[in-house]
Amino acid sequence: MKQPRSIVITGASSGIGEALALLYAGPGTVLALTGRDSARLEAVAERCRAAGARVDAAAIDVADRGAMAEWLARVDAETPVDLLIANAGMSAGTGDGSETEEQARRILAVNVDGVLNSIHPLIPAMRARRQGQIAIMASLAGFRGLPGAPAYCASKAMVRVYGESLRGDLAGEGIGVSVICPGFVKSRMTAVNRFPMPFLMETDAAARVIRRGLERNAARIAFPWPMMAAVWLLALLPPSWTDGVLRRAPRKA
């Protein structure tokens, strides 16, 4: 969508979500932003208001299905949503030992259930209007299981494939669906990594790439291209060729 007027962004209290909120903020834009940290979220909301946007900021855990459904219904009733960016997510890995069941379940609750809780409350209304756009934040980490982050990789693979399927399913109803697959982007999530991150991007630059992709309703917004190419090759090669290398790769704490 070229000029979405009403935009929902989950996980807007920092990182890529914050950069997207600031990029879209301007006179005539209505933003609905969520995150859990009210202070950080309100600071982002204030900057967006200063840029001329009308902002509704609500501290909600995306894993809370009822709270998300209630908030999104209110937001859409006030100003029908043109674009939803289901961006909120968390990461953790096996750098401190094997992934616990607890960790795996929490990552899936936020990164998978959280995406479902963000998009489904709006789909019936978009269907009825035969208009709307949904963007799902996946990752280049979702193309091949990495020993350093099992649940994270699985969660991003799930939402990527789900988004690709949804795109075909909803295309005939006037609703666009894009999946976003970034490589490394500077944020609170990557700030904790103690290993080299090839082609690490600034959040503003990532937000601009995402916005350009969404303007042309791209099916997949994957970047930067050298990381995309590396991941594509990794996914293509037989696991027996790549397992050894991946086992030795650094792991996220």
Ligand X SMILES: NC(=O)c1ccc[n+]([C@@H]2O[C@H](COP(=O)([O-])OP(=O)(O)OC[C@H]3O[C@@H](n4cnc5c(N)ncnc54)[C@H](OP(=O)(O)O)[C@@H]3O)[C@@H](O)[C@H]2O)c1
Residue 178 found at the interface with ligand X (CB under 6 A): no
Of the candidate spans 83-91, 162-170, 216-224, 229-237, the one that interacts with ligand X by CB under 6 A turns out to be 83-91
193 scored as a contact of ligand X (CB under 6 A)? no
Residue of the chain from 4, 6, 8, 11 that contacts ligand X (CB under 6 A): 11
162 is catalytic: no
From 8, 62, 119, 166, residue interacting with ligand X (rule: CB under 6 A): 62
| Options 58-66, 69-77, 161-169, 170-178: segment touching ligand X (CB under 6 A) | 58-66
Specify which residues 34 forms β-bridges with.
Answer: 58
Torsion angle of alpha carbons 15, 89, 107, 181, nearest 10°? -100
Contact yes or no for 93/39 (Cβ under 8 A): no
Using the rule CB under 6 A, which residue among 30, 31, 72, 87 binds ligand X? 87
> Using the rule CB under 6 A, is 61 a contact of ligand X?
yes
Distance CA 111, CA 64 (A): 12
Give least dist CB 189 to ligand X, A: 3
Name the minimum Å distance from CB 90 to ligand X. 5
Residue 121 sits in the site that holds ligand X (CB under 6 A): no
48 binds ligand X (CB under 6 A): no
Binding site for ligand X (CB under 6 A): 11-17, 34-37, 40, 61-63, 87-91, 110, 114, 137, 139, 182, 184-185, 187-190
Annotated active-site positions, please?
152
